[in-house]
Structure 1
Amino acid sequence: MSGKKTKSGKANQNKKQEVVQDERLQAIVLTDSFETRFMPLTSVKPRCLLPLANIPLIEYTLEFLAKAGVNEVYLICASHGEQIQEYIDQSKWSLPWAPFKVNTIMSLESRSVGDAMRDVDNRGLITGDFVLVSGDLVTNMDFEKALDIHKQRRKADKDHIVTMCLSKATQFHKTRSHEPATFIFDKSNDRCIYYQDIPLASSREKTTIDIDPELLEGVDEFVLRNDLIDCHVDICSPHVPAIFQENFDYQFLRRDFVRGVLSSDLLKKHIYGYITDEYTTRAESWQTYDAISQDFIARWCYPLVLNANLLKGQTYSYESQHIYKEKDVVLAQSCKIKKNTAIGSGSKIGEGTVIENSVVGRNCKIGSNIRIKNSYIWDNVVIDDNTTIEHSLVASDVKLGSNVTLNDGSIIGFNVVIDDNVTIPVGTKISAVPVQRNTAQFLDTAHNLSSSDEDEEGSTFTRNSSSLSISNSDEVADAKIKLSKQLVGPNGRGVLYESDDEDEDEDGSTEKGIANTLTYRDDDIYLSDTSISSITQKHRKRRTMSMTSIYTDYEGEEDEEEDFEKEAIATVERAIENNHDLDTSMLELNTLRMSMNVTYHEVRNASVIAIFRRVYHFVATQTLGPKDAVTKVLQQWGPVFKRQAFDSDEFIDLMNIILDRVLDQKFDKPDFILFHVYNVLYDLDILEEDVIYKWWDSVSGDSKYSEVTALLAKWVDWLKTADEESSDEEDSDEDE
C-alpha cells in the first residue's frame, strides 16, 4: 500500500512539474534577418547589434521581452554568432538577477526563417506557448493584453496555433515599404482567413485578391486590411516548429507558413490577428531605421526613451526640443545643437558646428564649421573641418577629411577613410574592404558610372572614365580599385558597394539601389507626414510643421514661406524658453514677417505650433497634466494672438489652426485639450461668443472633426445657455 501511495505521490509531483514547466513563457529571437538590406555593414556586424540611437537593436527586443514576462529566451544565430554571444556575456542579461535566462543557439546552416524553425524543432527547445520575434524589434506595446487574448482564443478554439501582433499604419507609410500585404479577417473574432503579398507602392502596379470561396464558409462578415505594419511578433503554440518540420519548402514566415496553414485542407489550424494602436515596428530597412530613429528621439516610444539609459554606463539627460546629452560631452561655445539630437559621452564638437535631427555616438571628434543634419554618426568617428553631412549614416571608426560632402543617402561602412575635398554622390554605399557580390552587377554599375554623368571637378567622384570592357577577374579587381580611389580620394580607404539582387524588390519595379536607402524620394508615395505611431493623418497640399516633426509635401509651396515658418517657430520657441516679454517677441515676429512678405495667417500658424510644442513637452514628460499644461502656457502666451488677429474672420482662422494642430499632434485626448484651449482663450477675452458660434457652425458638421466635436458641442451649448441667461437678467434689470 505504501509503495502505491509513493508511486502515486511521485506521479502527482511530476504532473505538477509539467504544469509549471508549460506555464513558463519562452521566446525565440531570430537575430539574423536572412536578408542583405543592411549591407555592407552586416558583413562586419549582425543587424541586431547595429546601434539605433546609440543602443544596439537587440536591446530594444530584449527590453520588450523582459516587460512581457518572458522566462527563457533563445537567440537563434545564423551569422556572426560569436559576436552576439560575446555581447550577451558582457551585458546585463547574463547577470544572475536578469529577468530571464538567455541561451545563444548557433544555427549556422540556417538560410531562412523556415530553416531556423526546423532547427528549433530538432533541438526540442519548445515546451509550451512561445513568442517569436526578430532581433530588430522596437515597440512599447502592452504584450500582456495580447497574451491574455491569445490564451482566451486557445481555450475557445483548440485549433488556434498563432496570434499575429499587427500595428496600424497609413497606406503609404515607409514602414510598409518592403513587405506590404493584405490580410482578410473574420470580423467577429479576428481569425485570419487569407494572406497575400501585394506589390510595393512604388511599382504603381495594380493587383487583385483571388480567394477561394470555400475559405469564407461559416464567416458572416469579413474585413480586408492592407493598412497594417507586420513586425513579425507572433505568439505561437508548440505546433508551429513541427509544421515547419513537416513542410521543408516553407522558408518565409508569412508567404509560406501563414499562407500555407490557411489554405491547407489537412492541417485545419487557425491563425488569429491582434491589432494594436501602440508603437510597434522593425528596423527592417534603411528607411525604417531612419523613421524609427527620429520617432525614438521624439519620444513616440514612451516610456521607452533614450534617457531611460538602457545600457550600463549610459548617462543621457533630456533637455527641451528633444535634445539628449551624456556626461563628458565637450561643446565649443559657438556650436549649435538643435532639436531632435543625441550626443554620446566623450564626444567633442568644434566651433561653428551645427547638428540637427541627428544622433552622434560616443568618443567622436567633430571639428569646426561642420554641418550635420538628419544623419547618424556612430562611435569613434573623426570628422575634420568644413565637412557637410546630409541625411547619411557614418559607421564606427570612420575618418572623414576636411571639406568632405556626404550627399543624401550615403552609407559609410566601418573603418572607411575619406580623403580631403571629396564629394560622395547621392545614395552611395562604401565598405572598408570588398564584399563578395555578383560580378555582372559590378560591370553594370561601372558602366553606368562611367557614362551617365558629367565630369565633376576636384576630387569629386569622376564618372566619365573610359568605358570599361572587363572580361576576367583581374580586370574586375583593377576596375574596382580604380573606381574606389576616385570615390574616396588618393589617401582614402574604401570600396564601392552596390546592392545585391536580394536588396531589390522582387518584381524589379523599383530602381536599383533606391528602394533600400536613406535617400529622400520626391515621389508623394514615399513622403510620410506622420510618425510611425500616427495612423489617420492625411497628406496636406502645403507644408506645415507638427510639434515633433516637419511635414513635407512638395506641391507648390514657396521656399520663402517655408523659411519663414522655420524661423518664426524658432523665434517663438526661443521666446518661450528664455521667458521673453510679449512686446519683444512680437517685434521679432513682425520684423520677420515684413522681411519675408508673408501674411498674418503664417504668423498665427507658427505661433500655434510653437506654443503647442510647449504644451506637448509638459504632457509628454509628465511635468504637468494636460489641463494644467494648457492653462500655464496659454495664460502667458495666449495674448500674442490679440496682436495677430484683428477681425472675426481672422479669429475664426486662428480657431481652425488650433483645431488642426491639436489633431496633428495626436494628443491622447484631443477633445479634452481643445476644450481647455478654447475655454482659456475665452476666459482671457481673446475669443468672443459671436466668433465661437460662427466658427462652430462651420466645423460642427465636418465628419473629419467628429472625434473632437462631442465635448466642444457641450461647451458651445453651455456658452449659449449662459449668454441667454445673461440677456434675460439684463432685460429684467431694464424692466425694473
Structure 2
Amino acid sequence: MAGKKSKSSDKSGNNKQKNEVVQDERLQAIVLTDSFETRFMPLTAVKPRCLLPLANVPLIEYTLEFLAKAGASEVYLMCASHADQINDYIEKSKWNMPWSPFRVSTIMSLESRSVGDAMRDLDNRGIITGDFILVSGDLVTNMEFDKALDFHRMKKSEDKDHIVTMCLSRASQFFRSRCHEPAVFILDKASDKCLYYQDIPLENSKLKNSIAIDPELLEGVDDFKIRNDLVDCHVDICSPHVPAIFQENFDYQFLRRDFVKGVLTSDLLKKSIYAFITEDYAARVESWQTYDAISQDFIARWCYPMVLNSNLLDDQTYSYESEHIYKEKDVVLAQSCKIGKCTGIGSGSKIGEGTSIENSVIGRNCHIKENIVIKDSFIWDNTTIGSDSVIEHALVASDVKIGSKVVVQDGCVIGFNVFIDDNMVIPVGTRLSETFVEKRVSQFLDSESYSDDEEVVSNGKSTNALPAVKLVGEAGVGYVYESDDAYDDDDSSVLDDGTNALTHRFDDMYLSDTSISSLSVKPKKKRRSSTSSATTFAGRDEEYYDDDNEDEDEEDFAAEAIATVERAMENNHDIDTALLELNTLRMSINVTYHEVRSATVVALLRRVYHFIATQTLGAKDAIQKVFGQWGPLFKRQAFDEEEYVDLANLILEKAVAQNFEKPEFIVFSALTFLYDEDILDEDAVDAWWNQVTDDPAYDQAKVLTAKWVEWLRTADEQSTSEEESEESDSE
C-alpha cells in the first residue's frame, strides 16, 4: 500500500520530519483455494470446492469477508484445480472493484498437489514480505482476528523463534462442526506454546488411538495440557520462515501432520509454534458432514454478525423472519405450502401447493411443485422437483431435474445436471453425477492427499461407464460415483466411511473430551510401548487389557515397533536410542527377533516409498539414504546365517507387499547396499537364494537379484581358483 505524506503545521519551516513518507505495515493473506482432497466428489470434478454454495453463498465469500474484517491489504489466491473458474469469479466479483478493502490476485499454481507444493511455489515467487495470514478457501468464521494478531505479535516479541500462531476454536463435546479428522494438541499450560501435535483416529476405528511423545519435548515444561476439544479451522498467522521451511523439506505435504509435527520434533529447526484459542465460531467445510453442520449453524445465526440476511453478495435481497426463516424477493409461495424453521429460499423460486419445507436451503430459480416433502436438505439453483416427491437429508446440486414421486433418501448427493425419471428411489448414501467420473491413482500415500481434478470426467466413454438406469430411470441421466473407500478394506478407511457422509452419525464422531486417559488408570497385563516414551492412550479398556492372545500380541508389537522406527527416522534419533526402544518393546511383549526384523524392514521400505512417491528422491538415492542411516539396525537384530537369510526373505516379501512400481530394483538395491556395508555376506546371500520362494508373485522382484547372485557366485569361483593356483605355485 502506498505511503501517506503528513501535512506540515510547523510555521518555522522545519518540515523535514513531517514530510517523511510513513510506510503502512502491509498484512498479506494467502488463501489455499484447492482442498487437495476428493471428499466432495463428484461435485468437485465440475466446480472447485471454494465455489460451491453454502446457504446460497459461494464458500470463498465467507473467507474473503473474514479477511476484509481482519484488515488484510493484499490477498493472494493460490489456485490449482479449476483455476480458470476461480479467476473468472474473482474478476467479476466485488473484490476486484476499486473500492475493495484489499488488493486481490490469483496465482496459478497448477502443478501443486498438496499444501506443501503450494507453499514451495509461494516461496519461489518471493511475494511474501512479512508475517501473513494462511487460510483455506472453505473457512466460515466470525472470529475477532485483532485479538489473534495481538497475541501473535506479543509471542513474537517474547520468543525470537516463534514462527506460527495457530488459531483454534474451543468446542463443546457435541459441537457438530468439530474437525473431520480429530487431533490432539499438547500445549504448555502457562504460555499456550504447542509442544506436540498428533492426529488421532475416531473412537470406533480399528486403529489404536495412542499418543507417543518424546520426553525431551517436555523438558523445562512445568505443566502441560492435552486438548482434543479444539476445532482446527486452519487459520494461521505465519512468519516468512514458513514457506522457506517447506522449501527445505520436500517431504512436507500436509500443514499439520507434516509441517507442524515436523517443526515441533525437529532437533535442527528449533522453531516454536503457539496456539491462540478463541471462543468465536470458526470451522472449515472439509467434509459432507461439516457442510451439513455449518449450513445449519449459519442459518441458526451461530456466526452472527455474519448471517444470511447480511446479504454477502451484492445482488442478494434476503430478509429475516421468525424461526430463522429467510426469503429473497420474488419468491412465490402457494397458499397451502408450509415453510418450517431454519429455512432459506432464493429469489425466483416457486413452491407449490401442499409442499412442506423445513431445515433446508432452496437456491434461486428452483421450481418445487405440489405435495413435496423437503427436510434437512440442500437444493441448489435452477433445480426442478416433480410433485409428490420426498427429499430427506440430501444434497441436490444445480440444474438437476427430479421427476414426480421420486424418493431421495438420507445422505444422497445428486450432482450437477442429473435427471431422475418419475417413480424412482435413490438409496441411502448414493452419489450421482451427470457423466462418468474416472479415478486416477494419487501420487501420495494418503488417498485424500491430491487435487480434486485428479479425478476426471470421461463423458461415459470408459468401458466401465454404465448409466445408472435402475436408479435414474430409462429416460434419466446419471452415473453412480463410488469413492475409493468402497474398495478399500484398510482400517484407515474407517475414518472417511464414518465421517465423510452427509448423514450425522454421532456414534462415529469423536465426541468424548475425556477419552484421553492416563496410563495409570488401570494396570495392564502387558506393556504396549517403550519405556523411553511418555505415552497416553485413548479408547476402550478392552483394546489394551485383552487376554494373552499371541496373534494379537504380535499385531500389537508390529504396529508399535513400526511406529517406533518411523518416529526415530522422523525425529532423527540415533541408532542406539532406536535399538533400546525396540529391544525394550520386544522383551515387554515377548516376541522373537523375527518380528523385530519384520517391523524394521516395513518401516524402512515405507520411508523409501514415501521419498519415491513424493518425487523427493529417486529409488537408488532413497535406498542409500534410508538404508545407509538405518541399515545398521539389522546388525543388532540378526546374529547368524539363518537370521540373515530371514532378513533377505523379509526384504523380498515386504517390497512386493509395498507395491513399488519396480520392486525388482528395490530388492536388488537394498540387498546390494547391505552387502556393500558388510551387513550381509556371500554365504548368507547364497544360502538365501538356494531356498528362495518359487511363488510366481515374486518372479519380477527377483529378476535383477538373480543376475547379481550369479555374478557373486562366478566371482567367488574365480577367487577360489586363483587362491588354489597361488597355493600350487608357492608349493
Rounded Cα–Cα distance in structure 2 between residues aligned with 1:267 and 1:488: 56
Residue in 2 aligned with 1:9? none
Counterpart check, 1:124 vs 2:126? yes
Structure 1 residues 647-672: Cα deviation after superposition (integer angstroms, max 9, x where no partner) = xxxxxxxxxxxxxxxxxxxxxxxxxx
1:489 aligns with 2:473: yes
Q: In the alignment, what sits opposite 1:31? A: 33
The answer to whether the 8 A contact 1:107-1:119 is kept is yes
Which of 281, 289, 306 is 1:304 aligned to? 306
Q: Within 1, Cα distance between the matches of 2:460 and 2:398?
A: 31
- Looking at structure 2, the residues matched to 406 and 310 of structure 1 have their Cα atoms a distance apart, in angstroms, of 31
1:255 positional shift: 0.5
Q: Corresponding residue for 2:421? A: 419
Q: 1:476 to 1:415 in 2, by over 3 A?
A: closer
Give, in whole Å, the separation in 2 of the partners of 1:198 and 1:323: 38
Judging changes above 3 Å, is the alpha-carbon distance between structure 1 residues 506 and 95 closer, same or farther for their aligned structure 2 residues? farther
What SS does structure 1 have at the residue aligned with 2:212? coil
Cα distance change, pair 501–78 in 1 and its aligned pair in 2 (3 A): farther
Within 5 Å, give how 1:278-289 maps onto structure 2.
278-289=280-291
Gap change, CA 1:238 and 1:438, over 3 Å in 2: closer
1:264-316 per-residue CA deviation (whole Å, 9 max, x = no partner) reads 11111100000111100000000000000000000000000000001011000
Aligned counterparts of 1:175 and 1:203: Cα–Cα separation in 2: 19
The yes-or-no answer on 1:65 pairing with 2:67 is: yes
Distance 2:392 2:339 in 1: 15
Residue aligned with 1:346, SS:
coil
Pair 1:20–1:381, CA change in 2 (3 A): same
Alignment partners' CA distance in 1, 2:496 and 2:185:
28
Aligned letter for 1:20? Answer: Q
Q: Which residue of 2 aligns with 1:20?
A: 23
**Structure 1 residues 478-535: Cα deviation after superposition (integer angstroms, max 9, x where no partner):** 66425x11121100001000112599898435287553111243x53449899xxxxx
- Is contact 2:205-2:495 (8 Å) kept? no
1:109-130 Cα offsets, whole Å, 9 max, x none, are 0000000000000000100000
Alignment of 1:600-639 (within 5 A): none
Task: Give the 5 Å matches for 1:46-445.
Answer: 46-171=48-173, 173-176=175-178, 178-203=180-205, 205-437=207-439
1:210 partner SS: strand
Distance 1:378 1:149, change over 3 A: same
Indicate if the aligned counterparts of 2:345 and 2:364 stay in contact, CA closer than 8 A.
Answer: yes
Pairs within 5 Å for 1:679-718: none
Task: Tell me how large the CA RMSD over aligned residues is.
Answer: 2.7
Flag the 1:255–1:479 CA change in 2: closer, same or farther, 3 A.
closer
Over 3 Å counting, the alpha-carbon distance change for 1:507 and 1:163 in structure 2 is farther
User: Deviations along 1:629-680, whole A, 9 cap, x unmatched?
Assistant: xxxxxxxxxxxxxxxxxxxxxxxxxxxxxxxxxxxxxxxxxxxxxxxxxxxx
Alignment of 1:596-675 (within 5 A): none
What is the rounded CA distance, in whole Å, between the counterparts of 1:474 and 1:188 in structure 2?
Answer: 58
Determine helix, strand or coil for the equivalent of 2:437: coil
Whether the 8 Å contact between 1:27 and 1:73 is mirrored in structure 2 is: yes
CA change 1:95–1:37 in 2 (3 A) is: same
- Percent identity over the alignment is 70
Map of 1:654 onto structure 2: none
Structure 1 residues 507, 71: CA separation in 2 closer, same or farther (over 3 Å shift)? farther
Closer, same or farther: CA 506–340 of 1 in aligned 2, 3 Å: farther
TM-score (norm 2): 0.63
Maintained 8 Å contact 1:177/1:200: no
- Secondary structure of the equivalent of 2:276? strand
| C-alpha spacing 1:219/1:475, structure 2 compared with 1 (3 Å) | closer
For the residue of structure 2 that corresponds to 1:295, the secondary structure is: helix
CA distance in 1, matches of 2:459, 2:340: 49
- How far did residue 205 of structure 1 move? 4.4
CA apart distance, 1:197: 1.2
1:329-372 C-alpha deviation (Å, 9 max, x unpaired): 00000000010000000000000000000000000011000000
The residue aligned with 2:492 is 508
Q: What secondary structure, in the 3-state scheme, does the structure 1 residue paired with 2:264 have? A: helix
The aligned amino acid for 2:197 is Y
CA–CA separation in structure 1 for the residues paired with 2:192 and 2:480: 48
Whole-angstrom distance in 2 between the partners of 1:511 and 1:48: 23
**Partner letter of residue 46 of structure 2?**
V
1:579 alignment partner in structure 2: none
CA contact (8 A) 1:35 1:502 kept: no
Q: Alpha-carbon deviation of 1:201?
A: 2.7
Alpha-carbon deviation of 1:140? Answer: 0.3
Q: 1:61 to 1:502 in 2, by over 3 A?
A: farther
Tell me the amino acid that sits aligned with residue 524 of structure 1.
Answer: D
* Paired residues of 1:178 and 1:200 also in contact (CA < 8 A): no
Relative to structure 1, the CA distance from residue 92 to residue 238 in structure 2 (aligned partners, 3 Å threshold; closer, same or farther) is: same
- Tell me, in whole angstroms, the C-alpha distance in 2 between the residues paired with 1:474 and 1:361: 27
* Larger proportion of helix: 1
Deviation at 1:234, TM superposition (A): 0.2
1:208: how far off?
2.1
Is 1:499 equivalent to 2:501 in the alignment? no
Task: State how far apart, in whole Å, the 1-side matches of 2:503 and 2:94 are.
Answer: 36
Q: Secondary structure at the match of 2:483?
A: coil
1:524 equivalenced with 2:507 (yes/no):
yes
Q: Is the 8 A contact 1:177 1:201 kept in 2?
A: no
> 1:151: how far off?
0.5
Q: What secondary structure does 1:318 align onto?
A: strand
* Separation (CA, whole Å) in 2 of partners of 1:57 and 1:307: 16
C-alpha separation in 2, matches of 1:178 and 1:295? 16
Give, as a single letter, the amino acid of the residue that structure 2 aligns with 1:150. Answer: H
Instruction: Classify 1:506/1:157 alpha carbon distance in 2 versus 1 (closer, same or farther; 3 Å).
Output: farther
CA distance in 2, matches of 1:295, 1:216: 38
- 1:317 is matched by which residue type in structure 2? S
- Distance change >3 Å, CA 505–CA 178, structure 1 → 2: farther
Unaligned runs of at least 5 residues, structure 2? 1-15, 442-457, 514-731
Shift of residue 172, structure 1, vs aligned partner:
6.0
Q: By how many angstroms is 1:206 displaced?
A: 3.8
3-state secondary structure, aligned to 1:167:
strand
Following TM superposition, by how much is the alpha carbon of 1:176 offset from its aligned partner in structure 2, in angstroms?
Answer: 3.6
Secondary structure of the residue aligned to 1:203 is coil
| Cα distance in structure 2, aligned partners of 1:352 and 1:425 | 25
2:173, 2:511 within 8 Å by CA — same for their partners in 1?
Answer: no
Shift in alpha-carbon separation, 1:529–1:255, aligned structure 2, 3 A:
closer
Q: CA deviation at 1:216?
A: 1.1
Counterpart in 2 of 1:538? none
Question: Relative contact order (alpha carbons < 8 A, sep ≥ 6): 1 or 2 greater?
Answer: 2
Q: Deviation at 1:174?
A: 4.6
Give SS of 1:208's match: strand
